[in-house]
Amino acid sequence: MKKVLSLFSSAGIGERGIEAAGLKIIVSNELEKIRSDLYKENHPDVKAICGDIWTEKEHIIHEWKKVCGTEPFLIYATPPCQGMSSNGAGKLLREIREGRRANEDPRNRLIIPTMNIVTELRPHWLLLENVPTMDQTIISDENGKSVKIIDYIAQQLGAGYTGKAEVVNCADYGIPQTRKRLITIFSRDPEGIEYFQKNASFLPATTHTETGDLFKKPWVTLRNAIGGLPELSAETGKNERKDFHPYHIVPLLDKDKRWWIQNTPEGDTAFNNQCCNPSCLFKGNPSHGSHYKGGVHQSNKNTPIFCERCGALLPRPTVKDAKTQEIRLIRGFDTAYRRMEWDKPAPTLTQKMHTVTSDKKVHPSQNRALSLYEAMIIQTIADYPYKFSIDGKEVSRNTICQIIGESVPPKLIEMICRNILSLY
């Protein structure tokens, strides 16, 4: 079996796709103990090294050589993305030249020990997954020189490797989520190089498009993916259906938040809610608005909270000042308290998938966030064997949200690995 080294493995969710494609993970590395422990539970045959890649890199190389003796078929690396800037590379380079650059996020430099391991072990294939903004992210290399991460990777690999970084939308691969990720693949095998010369890409052909056509199916929507599941509501006694599935459960919301989202139409935000006074029901109150100013997403500052026709409090996110008793709009963008849409895939799941105040996290028609089980379906984890417990004890729901939000949909990784393997 072809052998894999997995770096930044977290709890090994995307890795399920690697195994399903027929590859064997031999060694992995992850910083956080709880994630590494969960990894060991789910991948008991893998030598899972827990610790910082900077200090563990020699250990990782040593373990690989000890256990395998040969070069890895694949090194799979999914470094953390929180530090990747959405500022354009051009703007950053100008700031660096002018000495105005804010401090560099040290997480972006994790590509350096990654490439130290890659250049030492010389895998046949390198596969990296990250956010699209990685393409624009600049780091200072070992010599303090500013360089785009993707250029740094290509420089370190040298002329023997061929490949590139490409943005994929998971929905185009039949995953019910418009998660966009930068997939970087390089190969040094003749089979890979020849394929790349013909196709200019290592990615498998997409299988779906937004509306579908003669050759491709339409995107898988939330209705297709979770439409038939038992109803839940974010109130006591109605927020779980463990009899149906142990993770069909949502966090409780206080009465106010429930009132706001109860009055929110599908696809809209509670910040735009209209009058719900039965004798008025005025629909013309100004909305929260959404615009870009100076490259930053902004919403109106003067959004009304009382109905302009009858004066009743609108079911918009508000807070009462304890001292003055004054009611004011909670600050927030119009992506907060926003309902998803049944006939679209879910937006990107994040670590905050359980928080209705986070980006588009309200269920399309029920008064709650997504359940953990629904998140597992949307991230395609439910299609693979996976357990969220260590030594028979379940990890917390918060940990599950964090791990799912940071994971790579295993279906995407399986399709990519199958495409690579089809070349042999």
Ligand X SMILES: C[S@@+](CC[C@H](N)C(=O)[O-])C[C@H]1O[C@@H](n2cnc3c(N)ncnc32)[C@H](O)[C@@H]1O
**Residues at the contact surface with ligand X, assessed by CB under 6 A:** 8-11, 13-14, 29-32, 35, 52-53, 78, 80, 110, 406-408
- Residue closer to ligand X (CB basis): 13 or 349: 13
Phi and psi torsions of 6, nearest 5°: -115, 125
Can you list the positions of beta strands (E) in 268-375?
291-293, 296-298, 318-320, 327-329
Beta bridge partners of 306: 313
User: CB of 16: closest distance to ligand X in angstroms?
Assistant: 8
- Residue closer to ligand X (CB basis): 110 or 222: 110
- Residue closer to ligand X (CB basis): 80 or 267: 80
How many angstroms separate the CA atoms of 84 and 106, rounded?
10
What DSSP string runs through 243-256?
A: TT-TT-B-----HH
User: CB of 9: closest distance to ligand X in angstroms?
Assistant: 6
User: CB of 55: closest distance to ligand X in angstroms?
Assistant: 9
- Is residue 413 left, alpha or beta, with left meaning phi > 0 and alpha meaning psi from -120 to 50? alpha
User: CB of 32: closest distance to ligand X in angstroms?
Assistant: 4
Type of residue numbered 351: Q
User: CB of 18: closest distance to ligand X in angstroms?
Assistant: 10
- Residue closer to ligand X (CB basis): 29 or 162: 29
Cβ neighbours of 267 (radius 10 Å) = 14
User: CB of 327: closest distance to ligand X in angstroms?
Assistant: 41
- Residue closer to ligand X (CB basis): 42 or 367: 42
What DSSP character marks residue 28? E
How many angstroms separate the CA atoms of 235 and 367, rounded?
9
3-state DSSP call for residue 227? Answer: coil
- Residue closer to ligand X (CB basis): 30 or 374: 30
- Residue closer to ligand X (CB basis): 358 or 407: 407
How many angstroms separate the CA atoms of 83 and 148, rounded?
14
User: CB of 124: closest distance to ligand X in angstroms?
Assistant: 20
Site of tokens 């070992």: 142
3-state DSSP call for residue 114? Answer: helix
Q: 180-187 and 125-130: which strand pairing?
A: antiparallel
Cβ-based neighbours of 60, under 8 Å, separated by 6 or more: 5, 7, 27, 29, 49, 53, 117
- Residue closer to ligand X (CB basis): 39 or 196: 39
The residue with its CB nearest to ligand X is 14
Alpha helices in 320-408, H assignment, sequence order: 372-378, 397-406
User: CB of 66: closest distance to ligand X in angstroms?
Assistant: 20
- Residue closer to ligand X (CB basis): 341 or 414: 414
Cβ-based neighbours of 105, under 8 Å, separated by 6 or more: 82, 83, 85
User: CB of 20: closest distance to ligand X in angstroms?
Assistant: 13
